[in-house]
Structure 1
Amino acid sequence: MSALYFKYQAFDKAGKVENGQLNAESEREAVRILQGRHLTPVKIQQTRPGAERLRRKKISNTDLLDFTSGLCTLVEARVPIDKALRLLDGITESAAMRELVLQLLRDVKEGRSLAEAMESHPQVFNKMYVNIVRAGEEGGILHELLPDLAEFLETSAQTRQAVISAMIYPTVLLITGVISVFLLLVFVVPQFATMFEDAGTDIPPSAAFLLALSAFLQSYGYLFIVAVVVAVVAWRRLDYDPVNKLRKDRFLLSLPILGSLILYRECAVFSRTLGALLGAGIPLIRALRVAREVVANAVLGTSLDQVEEDVRGGAGLGLSLEKTGQFPTLLHQLVAVGEESGRTADILLKSAVTFDNQVRNQMSSLVAALQPALIIFLAIAVGGITITMLSAVFSMNAVEF
Structure 2
Amino acid sequence: MPDFQYTARDTAGKKVVGQIAAATEREAVRLLAGNSLFPLEISTDIKSTVRKSNKRVKGQVMAQVYGQLASLLRSGVPLLRSIKVLQKQATNDTLSFVLGEVYSQVEEGINIADAMAQYPKVFSEVCINMSRAGAEGGFLEDALDRVAKFTEQQEDLKGETIGQLAYPVFLGTVGSILVAGLVIFFVPKFGDMFDNLRERGELPAVTDWLLAFSESLRTVWAVVFAIVILVGLLVINNYFKTEAGRKSRDLIKIRLPLVGKVFLAFAVARFCRVLGTLLQNGVPILKSLEISSLAAGNRVISGAIDDATENITSGESLSKPLAQSGYFPGTVVEMISVAEESNTLDRVLIEIADNLEKRTARQLSLAVRLLEPIMLLVMAGAVLVVVIALLMPVIKMSSAI
1:90 matched to which residue of 2?
Answer: 88
Cα distance in 2, alignment partners of residues 64 and 232 from structure 1: 35
1:148 matched to which residue of 2?
Answer: 146
Pair 1:227–1:111, CA change in 2 (3 A): farther
Shifted more, 343-352 versus 43-52: the winner is 43-52
Q: Determine if the alignment matches structure 1 residue 80 to structure 2 residue 78.
A: yes
Cα distance in 2, alignment partners of residues 298 and 124 from structure 1: 23
Residues 95-137 of structure 1: CA deviation (Å, up to 9, x unaligned): 2222221221122222211100111111222322211000000
Paired residue secondary structure (2:309): helix
Cα distance in 2, alignment partners of residues 81 and 229 from structure 1: 53
Q: Write the mapping of 1:2-41 to structure 2, written as runs, cut at 5 A.
A: 5-9=3-7, 18-23=17-22, 26-35=27-36
2:273 matched to which residue of 1?
Answer: 272
Q: Determine if the alignment matches structure 1 residue 367 to structure 2 residue 365.
A: no
Indicate which of 130, 133, 136 corresponds to 2:131: 133
1:57 Cα deviation after fit: 3.2
1:159 matched to which residue of 2?
Answer: 157
1:204 matched to which residue of 2?
Answer: 204
What one-letter code is carried by the residue in structure 2 that aligns with 1:213? F
Paired residue secondary structure (1:111): coil
Cα distance in 1, alignment partners of residues 227 and 88 from structure 2: 47
Verify the 8 A CA contact 1:8 1:41 in the aligned structure 2.
no
1:113 matched to which residue of 2?
Answer: 111
What one-letter code is carried by the residue in structure 2 that aligns with 1:210? L
Shifted more, 312-321 versus 177-186: the winner is 312-321
Cα distance in 2, alignment partners of residues 248 and 213 from structure 1: 32
The root-mean-square deviation of aligned C-alpha atoms, in Å, is 2.6
Shifted more, 57-66 versus 85-94: the winner is 57-66
Cα distance in 2, alignment partners of residues 51 and 32 from structure 1: 23
2:44 matched to which residue of 1?
Answer: 47
1:178 Cα deviation after fit: 0.2
Cα distance in 2, alignment partners of residues 217 and 371 from structure 1: 28
Cα distance in 2, alignment partners of residues 397 and 194 from structure 1: 16
1:231 Cα deviation after fit: 4.8
Pair 1:48–1:7, CA change in 2 (3 A): closer
Pair 1:302–1:51, CA change in 2 (3 A): farther
Verify the 8 A CA contact 1:279 1:346 in the aligned structure 2.
yes
Verify the 8 A CA contact 2:171 2:375 in the aligned structure 1.
yes
Shifted more, 310-319 versus 144-153: the winner is 310-319
Cα distance in 2, alignment partners of residues 174 and 110 from structure 1: 55
Pair 1:186–1:246, CA change in 2 (3 A): same
What one-letter code is carried by the residue in structure 2 that aligns with 1:136? G
Pair 1:278–1:18, CA change in 2 (3 A): same
Paired residue secondary structure (1:272): helix
Paired residue secondary structure (1:194): coil
Paired residue secondary structure (1:6): strand
Cα distance in 2, alignment partners of residues 43 and 386 from structure 1: 79
Pair 1:65–1:96, CA change in 2 (3 A): same
What one-letter code is carried by the residue in structure 2 that aligns with 1:276? T
2:291 matched to which residue of 1?
Answer: 290
Cα distance in 1, alignment partners of residues 232 and 364 from structure 2: 25
Shifted more, 327-336 versus 229-238: the winner is 229-238
Cα distance in 2, alignment partners of residues 216 and 17 from structure 1: 68
Shifted more, 194-203 versus 349-358: the winner is 194-203
Paired residue secondary structure (2:339): helix
TM-score, length of structure 2 as denominator length: 0.89
1:204 Cα deviation after fit: 2.5
Counting matched residue pairs gives 393
1:240 Cα deviation after fit: 3.3
Residues 325-354 of structure 1: CA deviation (Å, up to 9, x unaligned): 331112211112222222110100010011
What one-letter code is carried by the residue in structure 2 that aligns with 1:209? W
1:356 matched to which residue of 2?
Answer: 357
Shifted more, 375-384 versus 16-25: the winner is 16-25
Verify the 8 A CA contact 2:102 2:115 in the aligned structure 1.
yes
TM-score, length of structure 1 as denominator length: 0.89
Cα distance in 1, alignment partners of residues 266 and 60 from structure 2: 20
Pair 1:263–1:46, CA change in 2 (3 A): same
Cα distance in 2, alignment partners of residues 33 and 57 from structure 1: 31
Residues 172-193 of structure 1: CA deviation (Å, up to 9, x unaligned): 0000000000110111111111
Identical-pair percentage: 26
